[in-house]
Structure formats: structure tokens, C-alpha cells
Structure 1
Amino acid sequence: MRIAILGSVVTQVPPLGQAAIEWMAYHQAMGLAKRGHKVLLFAPEGSKVEHENIELVTVGKGGTLTGTGKEGDVGQTKRLGSSFKLRLEMTHLGILIGELLDRDSHFDILLNNLRGEAMIVPVAEILRKPLVGVMHLPLFDELAALLKRYKTNLISISDAQRKAYPDLNYAATIYNGVDPEAFAYNETPDDYYLYLGSIGPNKNPRDALLACKRAGVKMILGGRIKDKIYYDKEIASHIDGEIIKWVGEMHPGDVIELYRGAKAFLFPTMWEEPFGLVMIEAMSCGTPVVGYPHGAVAEVIEEGKNGFLVENVEEMAGKIREMEEMENAAMRQLRMSARKSVEEKFTIEKMVRNYEEVLRKILPI
């Protein structure tokens, strides 16, 4: 197959910092190329995807997704207002559409990861090429109506994601994947609990640190600050550098050791989570997840096998206390089971194979 993968117009592929969508686009491109398919990957300058079957098409300089893992890499766009960032992102999207039109004869099917999917849907109609859209983000009424009008082929990344709009043209549910070799298993954790992710009310890291304080355990907290007011009001006063330690947003290569060393990963999300990549990254390292059952969380966490579902701070604190009292053999079994769940359901290899199957089914022979 000749596949155009629309990776990103906001940050590099793969990203230098926190950006799950761009990581999935990277693994799609590399995985499908390794399986013998010709890939056109559309992504900003600075992207690094090297394979003989991949042609990288650069579309602007990115920079509208603040934060790349290193403060010096953020550049001018960190200081730009949201209105200009939106205009800049739309400009990069326009560049991408122009490149698509110019390269019409170079691909047979489009696999879209962009959050600007509304602009890609009618373009695919003009090109008369089948489009498969990956639903990395929640839908809303206007977007759902557009997708329904064009009968766009959709891939949900969890079954929970379909519930609000069950009548769209879903081709498959394909869970995100991780590389188990990169996120290597660790049987013996250190003495802390972990939260990594966006800092804001939707992801709700405050409940994680409150649960750790009530359980009397150490915690490491890190991620990109999406809401500075929330951070200042709900998080900053709890950080003491000893019981609650703040590490900020880290380079992807540095977070693996944090996952591996944690007794559990805490995921008190308050929104309808489309998937939650951090959960399976932690599980691959053997770290069980304690999370709130919103969105896809209940699909990823199997109670008592790779983690635990709880409803509030008190229940999370109680589960932490239970884990503190676990015998070593029981903790080892839990960690081994968490790792096994990733090997069975959430690998990049399985994810790419499923994408390949869907694309073959949709592409006219």
C-alpha cells in the first residue's frame, strides 16, 4: 500500500516531550514501513523518521504545542497568545493540504492523526482518496455531524470513546501501543508513587498527591503545566521536595526510569479519557495503575490484575495503604501481571498489525 500518514502540524514526530498523538503517528509510520508499505509522513521540521520506505514531507516549523521536554527548545511560540497560535496552526495545516494536493499521485489512502481533521475530511473527497481518521481526541456535536455527513472511516482508540456518538462509521477500535523492550520490566520498585501527565483539572493530579499524603507515602509528580492557575492553587503548596517531589515535564527517555521505579502509577482523571497512554507505559514497566473509572480507564485496568479502579481520594489512599501492606510475593505477581497485560493487548506490533488490516479492508483493490 501507498499510505499518506498525516502526523502533526504542531510538534515534531517523534516529539521531544509530552505528546501521545505524535508518538502514535511515529509508530504507525515506522511499523507500516517495516511491513513493506510505502509511507508519506507529513510532519513539522525537526521530525526524524528514518526508513527506506518513508518519505518525510515537512509542513512548517510546528511550535503551536507548547513544550518539547527542554525549556530551551520551546522558543518564541511559548510566549505567543492563543489566538496567534491557532492562526499559526491553521497556516501549517494549509501548507499540509497544499502538499497533499501536489502529491496526489504518490498515495492511495490517508491515515489522519491531526486534530484539524475537520479540514481534511472534505479534502479527501476532492482527492477521491479513502480517508481513515484516528480519534485521538473526544468528539463534539459539530465535528460528529461533519464526519457523519461524509461517512468518514473512523478508528476509535477505545470502545468508551464511541458511546457519545455510536452511529458514526467506525472501522475498528485499535488500542494504542508501547514497545515493551523500551519500557522494560522491573520487578523491584523503589519507595514512591507516581503521577506523570498534564497538570490541570481534567487530569486531576491534585487527587493523586492528596491520596499519597493521606496514605503517608512518597510521591513524584511531573508533567506539562496546562493550567498555571490550577498548578498554583492546587499543586504548588503541597510540593516539599521530600514527600511530594516535583520534576516538571521530562524528556521521554527520562520518564522510563520513573515508571520502572514506582510502586504504582496514579491516574485520577476526571474527564472521559479517550485512552491514556501513560497507563500502559507504566504497566509495561511492571507498575500497576490505580485510576478513576472515566472513559477508557476501565478498559485498560483489569481489577486486581494490572491495577485497581477507585472512585475518589479516600479510596485511592486506601488502595495505596493496601499495596504498602502487600507481601513481596504478591507485589511481584501484580507487577508481572501488569507487564503481561501489555504484552497481550497493548504492544506497538499488535497496534500496527491492526492498522494494516483496517487499511487493507478499506482500500479498493
Structure 2
Amino acid sequence: MRIAQIAPLYERVPPKLYGGTERVVSYLTEELVRQGHEVTLFASGDSITKAKLVPCCDTALRLNPKVKDSLPYHVVQLEKVRQRASEFDVLHFHTDALHFPLFRGLAKRTLTTLHGRLDLPDLKPLYTEFPEFPLVSISHAQRWPMPPVNWVGTVPHGLPGDLLPFRPTGEGGYLAFLGRISPEKRPDRAIEIAARTGLPLKIAAKVDKADADYWSDVIKPMIERNPRVEFIGEINEHQKAEFLGNALALLFPIDWPEPFGLVMIEAMSCGTPVIAFRCGSVPEVIENGVSGFIVSSIDQAVDAVQMVGRLERQSVRQAFEQRFTAECMAREYLSIYEHLAGTRLSARRPAHQSRLSPLAMPGDITLPSGAGWMEAPGSPAAQARSISGQA
């Protein structure tokens, strides 16, 4: 199958540092190439890929100080895709809705994965205007604010199985926070949880310009008051394996409708349990009492930290391998590509049998509870339900 992957230009594919969407595009693209598909990647010129690369700007826009406005570069990118659209069976966009007006006549051959939050009121009239475009969500929770649209799949993110190797022990003895310094990510909660447990906390995060005041007014003073909290800054992929793999647990204390949360499965790949607040996609990603604990308050998070040593890190890794590898992700997308192109790539299971119901519409979906397993009284899973208010 001939597939075009259209990535945002803010970061290269894969990104050098932070950049969740571009990272996922890279994992998907390389896995599709590995499986023998003909893939063309429309991305920044410094991207690294085994697919055919069509450079749409010289370097990633976020790290180019000369770039003041990203829109012109993305318009040029869409024109490059339009000129070559006839060469592909499927055009897979990861650029939100920017392509909708230009590709309306080709909508049935497009697929758009929505990577961001969809609860913003400005989005409803946009997606109402373009109901014909096939859309993919990255979690069921992401869908709920949307008007009726053409959902054709829910495909969770996946990582290469060997990207972040399994670590049998969190030998560093610290708690980890990885992501952005922003109010919705709640690094302040992470600092409070660590302070109350007496454990060291390492924060690896970037500070966007939009969050500079939050950093200087709230988070930096908290770090300065807590000598056991260390701020590392942004880290690359190699550093991430060490950072997450040596941690006792990843703290994911979010306070917003997280569409997916890539860092959760990055930690799981290392065998590192995740302590996450019950928001957005969290109950779909974390199996409570197996790959981590789902909590609803700082008190519950503190209790979970005390219990995290009871979880088997090998079971955390197995949960990742069963659901969140790049191979799993590619298999789901290929089923949807087949559906859109009207072809059969192989004897893969039909799309309606995929693990997160790619052809289900929002009204047909029941959100996972996060505790749909059997457990013995007193087991970590049973105690986890008590911690997260499910007892």
C-alpha cells in the first residue's frame, strides 16, 4: 500500500527533544516501512527516516530562531501533498484540521489523527463544518466533547519494543516527572507528593514561553524550597531510558482531559509503574494495580507511592507489550487504511474486531473503568481499587 504520512513541522521526525506527535509519526512510519509498505513522509528537512522524505522546510520550526510564523511553512507543506496526492492510496494527516478546505474533494482517501485536546469550544464549529473527513482518536475519552463526526477508529499510541529497554529494578530510588512545566500537567502536585513521601523527585521537562510565568512564579520557588527535588530540563531519547528506567515510579498528576499521555507507556516500556490521576485517557492506559495506580487525590497518590514496590515490574512491561507497541499501533492503522482504500492488505482481522473498536461511534463506546479484572483480597490490585476510590 502507498501511504503518505504528513507530520507537523514544529519538530523534526523524530524530535531531538520534546515532541509527542512527531515522535508517534516516526514510530508509525518506521514500522510501516519495516512491514514492507511504500511510505512517503512529508516533514521537516532534518527528519530521519527509512521512508521517502519530502522536506517541507529546512529544519524543525520550534528550534529555528529565524522562524516567527509557522503557518506559511505548513501551507507550503499542504501544497506539496496536494500536488502528489494521486500517488497514494491513503493520505494520513497529523496536522489537526489545517488541510480540510484544500482536501475536501479527496476526503475519502484521507485519514486524520487528532492528537490534541478536543474540549475547546472553538473546535465545535470547525468539525461541524467538515463532517466528511475520516477521523481517528487516540483514546475514547478524547472523543466526548466532539459533535457528530466521521470517527473511523481509536488507535492508542505505540513505541518500538526495543526503544526503552526493561529495567528490573528502579535502582535510582527516586520518583520521576517527565513532560512540560504547565498548570495542567501539575508538577506542583508531583513536588508535594514527593515531599510528603520523603523520596527524591527528578523533573525532566521543558518550559514553553507560554508557561514562563508559571515556572518562575510557582514551580521554581517550590523546587528551591525542596532540596530533594532536582530539575533536569529537557532530555533526549537516550537520557529518557535512563531517567525512566531507574525511577521507582513515574508521577503523572495531571489536571486536564489528557488525550493519551505518551509518557505513561514510555515508563511502562521500562517496567516503571505509573501513579496517575484519573483524568482523560488515564483509565484506558493504566491497568490499576498492574501497570500502576490510578488516584484521585494527593493523599491517595502518597499511599500509592508506599505500595508501588509491591507491583511486579515485569508485569508492567508485559502490559506495555500486549497493548502499546509500534507493531500494535501499525496493525490498527493498517486495518483502517484497508477500510478507506477498499483493499485487503492481508488476512488481518477486520477493523471492527480491533482491540479498541476502530469503527465504533461515540455513542457505542463504553469507557473502561480501569478496574475490570479479578483480584484476590489484599492483593496490590485490590488495594489499588481502595486507593483510587473504587472499593
Range into which the TM-score falls when normalised by the shorter chain: 0.7 to 0.9
Q: Which residue of 2 aligns with 1:69?
A: none
CA distance in 2, matches of 1:58, 1:144: 32
Q: CA deviation at 1:214?
A: 1.1
Q: Which residue of 1 aligns with 2:104?
A: 125
The answer to whether 1:6 aligns with 2:6 is yes
Q: Which residue of 2 aligns with 1:337?
A: 315
Q: 1:301 aligns with which of 270, 277, 286?
A: 286
- 1:141 and 1:235, CA in 2 relative to 1: closer, same or farther beyond 3 A? closer
- 1:359 and 1:144, CA in 2 relative to 1: closer, same or farther beyond 3 A? farther
The answer to whether 1:188 aligns with 2:164 is no
Q: Which runs of 5+ in 1 are unaligned?
A: 66-73
Q: Which runs of 5+ in 2 are unaligned?
A: 344-391
CA distance in 2, matches of 1:101, 1:194: 43
Q: 1:225 aligns with which of 191, 195, 207?
A: 207
Q: CA deviation at 1:166?
A: 6.0
Q: Deviations over 1:73-104 (max 9, x none)?
A: x3425xx7xxx3xxx21101111122122213
Residue pairs, 1:1-365, within 5 angstroms: 1-50=1-50, 54-65=51-62, 74-77=63-66, 84=68, 88-114=69-95, 117-127=96-106, 130-139=109-118, 140-148=120-128, 149-165=130-146, 167-189=148-170, 190-226=172-208, 227-239=211-223, 243-323=228-308, 326=309, 330-331=310-311, 333=312, 335-365=313-343
Q: CA deviation at 1:146?
A: 3.5
CA distance in 2, matches of 1:169, 1:101: 22
CA distance in 1, matches of 2:147, 2:56: 34
- 1:4 and 1:144, CA in 2 relative to 1: closer, same or farther beyond 3 A? farther
Q: CA deviation at 1:250?
A: 0.8
Give, as a single letter, the amino acid of the residue that structure 1 aligns with 2:316.
A
Contact 1:124 1:130 (8 Å CA) reproduced: no
Q: Is 135-144 or 160-169 further displaced after alignment? A: 135-144
Q: Deviations over 1:209-261 (max 9, x none)?
A: 11100111111011111211111122212335851111100112211111110
Q: Secondary structure at the match of 1:57?
A: strand
Give, as a single letter, the amino acid of the residue that structure 2 aligns with 1:336.
Q
Q: Secondary structure at the match of 1:264?
A: strand
Give, as a single letter, the amino acid of the residue that structure 2 aligns with 1:224.
K
CA distance in 2, matches of 1:204, 1:276: 14
CA distance in 1, matches of 2:292, 2:157: 18
Give, as a single letter, the amino acid of the residue that structure 2 aligns with 1:205.
P
Q: CA deviation at 1:142?
A: 4.5
CA distance in 2, matches of 1:153, 1:181: 32
Number of paired residues? 337
Contact 1:121 1:147 (8 Å CA) reproduced: no
Q: Give the TM-score of the pair, scaled to structure 1.
A: 0.87
Contact 2:257 2:280 (8 Å CA) reproduced: yes
Between Structure 1 and Structure 2, which shows a larger proportion of helix residues? 1
CA distance in 2, matches of 1:158, 1:317: 27
Q: Secondary structure at the match of 2:287?
A: coil
Q: Deviations over 1:95-124 (max 9, x none)?
A: 11221222133212210111xx32312222
CA distance in 1, matches of 2:114, 2:272: 27
- Alpha-carbon RMSD across the aligned residues, in angstroms, is 1.9
Q: Secondary structure at the match of 1:217?
A: coil
Contact 2:5 2:40 (8 Å CA) reproduced: yes
CA distance in 2, matches of 1:150, 1:310: 36
CA distance in 2, matches of 1:55, 1:278: 28
Give, as a single letter, the amino acid of the residue that structure 2 aligns with 1:28.
L
CA distance in 1, matches of 2:178, 2:304: 19
Q: CA deviation at 1:63?
A: 4.3
Q: CA deviation at 1:316?
A: 1.5
Give, as a single letter, the amino acid of the residue that structure 2 aligns with 1:339.
R
- 1:130 and 1:144, CA in 2 relative to 1: closer, same or farther beyond 3 A? farther
Q: Deviations over 1:271-310 (max 9, x none)?
A: 1000000001001111100011110011111111111111
CA distance in 2, matches of 1:44, 1:293: 36
CA distance in 2, matches of 1:154, 1:127: 14
Q: Secondary structure at the match of 1:309?
A: strand
Contact 1:108 1:129 (8 Å CA) reproduced: no
Q: Which residue of 2 aligns with 1:70?
A: none
CA distance in 1, matches of 2:232, 2:296: 27
Q: CA deviation at 1:359?
A: 0.5
CA distance in 1, matches of 2:107, 2:64: 39
CA distance in 1, matches of 2:254, 2:75: 34
Q: Is 98-107 or 129-138 further displaced after alignment? A: 98-107
Give, as a single letter, the amino acid of the residue that structure 2 aligns with 1:355.
Y
